Structure 1
Amino acid sequence: MIRCITIDDEPLALIQLTGYIQKVPFLELVKACNSALEALDLLAREPVDLIFADINMPDLNGVDFVKSLVNRPIVIFTTAYTEYAIEGFRVNALDYLLKPFGYNEFLTAANKALHQYELQSKVQLPSTPSVQETPAEKESLNLFIKADYKMIRLDMNKIIYMESQNEYIRIFLEEQKPIMTLLSMKKLEERLPASLFMRVHRSYIVNLEKITAVANNRIIYGKDTYIPIGNQYKDKFNEYLEKHYLGKL
């Protein structure tokens, strides 16, 4: 069981969260707190694995509350304000539920928490040092973008490639429809980890780990997706190939 608490200064929001938690068999509600200060007092006495926290609260907001925790549990923010999404991302929150959200959205976030909890709970051999991601490494695997009037959290490992279309970027993902967002290629390129992504054309950034093949100056994904390699990006991409090719180009 995942022991969790909820924090929200709105009584109706706490009632909704309590009802959702009771429907999930692997969640155990320790307490519904109406302020971050009450939660701090509880955490001093009770072990907790997961926190559902509102952000915009009096006295101590949700982001500052999470930053103050030494032993930080898994955190899922629940808020009505999209402008706080980036702040949530910076403190490595697992997910961000935008109010009003339904049970299906809550369950999706809860399942993410279960997966994270299982990863953290794996028993490691005493002789094997525990390798943990640094905050910077965790940030490099996730990204928030604005699309469909909300902030969407993307797992970078699921991105196949990105295509510029005038002032918009179309992001192609595994096992789901592409997402369109208003963004420049330059800004996107600056935020992506260079070890995983490379700009290969003025209109394309690709996930290097997802490449199926390279032929005729084009990158191939799957059976029928072809990405052109621009002349000004060719040398850099060839350097990448040389490092990973068993032979000579």
Structure 2
Amino acid sequence: MIIKCVAIDDEPLALAQISEYIKKTPNLEFVGDFENGLDAVEPIEKQDVGLVFVDIDMPGINGIDLVKSLIRKPYIVFTTAYSEYAIDGFKVDALDYLLKPISYSVFLKAANKALRMKELELSYIEEVKTNSEYLFVKSEYRLVRINFNNIKYIESQHEYIKIHQTSGNDILTLMSLKNIETMLPSQFLRVHRSFIVNKEKVEVVERNTVVYDNNVRIPVGEQYKEKFQEFLSKGF
């Protein structure tokens, strides 16, 4: 198993160090390093990068805002000289947080954590069986059948997803939103980096927000508005 990696840091020496660590670590593939975070967005999105080492305190766009802007979210390890950023880093579901100067042993521990998470994710995906009417997902050591027509929406929760069902029996499973998206039929639509909705269960839309009962409100992200509007226009 290989995880593609990029390094982002406005300090050339720190950037060179992390890049060298990536290159010499088994199962990590070095894709590139960037002093400007915005230059890294396209490679991350288009080259299936799975792990990003990124400094937080950078000019222009900082590391946290950069991570928030990503549509496809890889594992994130923040690197910084300032411990006060730790809470902000974990608020965006960072896998780890490394304080500079960073030794190789500390780097390797974070890299191995990402590799273990990837192995877990792949093992769960292999156990998912799917057809045109339902799929099975693993939840608490059980395989649970989920009928597509019973799904209202799917929500990302850290490394897990929560499948909200019309029956009220919500299912939590270790999987990324990206991976389950590839298993869903065309009646499902991604509307936010953290949400997929069942188009057949959308009944109320208010100001680019999908509203469900119990006052659940799902915002439509900027990157997904065009496809969402196409879906709405077909209903008129």
TM-score by length of 2: 0.55
2:37–2:66 CA contact under 8 A, matched in 1: yes
2:50–2:75 CA contact under 8 A, matched in 1: yes
**Residue in 2 aligned with 1:159?**
none
Give distance in 2, aligned partners of 1:137 and 1:33.
Answer: 26
Q: Residues 6-155 of structure 1: matches in 2 within 5 Å?
A: 6-122=7-123, 123=126, 124-126=128-130, 127-129=135-137, 134-135=156-157
**Residue in 1 aligned with 2:198?**
none
> Cα deviations across residues 62-103 of structure 1 (Å, max 9, x unaligned)?
000111112100000001011110011100000000001101
Q: How many residues align?
A: 138
What displacement does 1:33 show? 1.1
What displacement does 1:137 show? 8.5
1:4–1:48 CA contact under 8 A, matched in 2: yes
Amino acid at match of 1:75: I
What displacement does 1:125 show? 1.9
5+ unaligned residues in a row in structure 1: which ranges? Answer: 139-249
**Residue in 2 aligned with 1:238?**
none
1:129–1:23: structure 2 CA closer, same or farther, 3 Å change rule?
same
Amino acid at match of 1:71: R
1:137–1:76: structure 2 CA closer, same or farther, 3 Å change rule?
closer
Moved segments of 4+, more than 6 Å = 130-133
Give distance in 2, aligned partners of 1:56 and 1:71.
Answer: 22
> Cα deviations across residues 146-194 of structure 1 (Å, max 9, x unaligned)?
xxxxxxxxxxxxxxxxxxxxxxxxxxxxxxxxxxxxxxxxxxxxxxxxx
Give distance in 2, aligned partners of 1:50 and 1:61.
Answer: 17
2:75–2:94 CA contact under 8 A, matched in 1: yes
Give distance in 2, aligned partners of 1:105 and 1:84.
Answer: 18
TM-score by length of 1: 0.52
1:9–1:57 CA contact under 8 A, matched in 2: yes
Give distance in 1, aligned partners of 2:77 and 2:41.
Answer: 16
Give distance in 1, aligned partners of 2:114 and 2:86.
Answer: 18
Give distance in 1, aligned partners of 2:88 and 2:129.
Answer: 36
Give distance in 1, aligned partners of 2:17 and 2:159.
Answer: 34
State the identity as a percent: 49
81-90 vs 119-128, greater mean Cα deviation:
119-128
Q: Residues 166-245 of structure 1: matches in 2 within 5 Å?
A: none
2:10–2:58 CA contact under 8 A, matched in 1: yes
Amino acid at match of 2:129: L
2:53–2:76 CA contact under 8 A, matched in 1: yes
1:92–1:135 CA contact under 8 A, matched in 2: no
Give distance in 1, aligned partners of 2:107 and 2:155.
Answer: 26
**Residue in 2 aligned with 1:5?**
6
Q: CA RMSD in A?
A: 2.0
What displacement does 1:129 show? 3.6
5+ unaligned residues in a row in structure 2: which ranges? Answer: 140-153, 161-236
What displacement does 1:18 show? 1.4
1:78–1:133: structure 2 CA closer, same or farther, 3 Å change rule?
farther
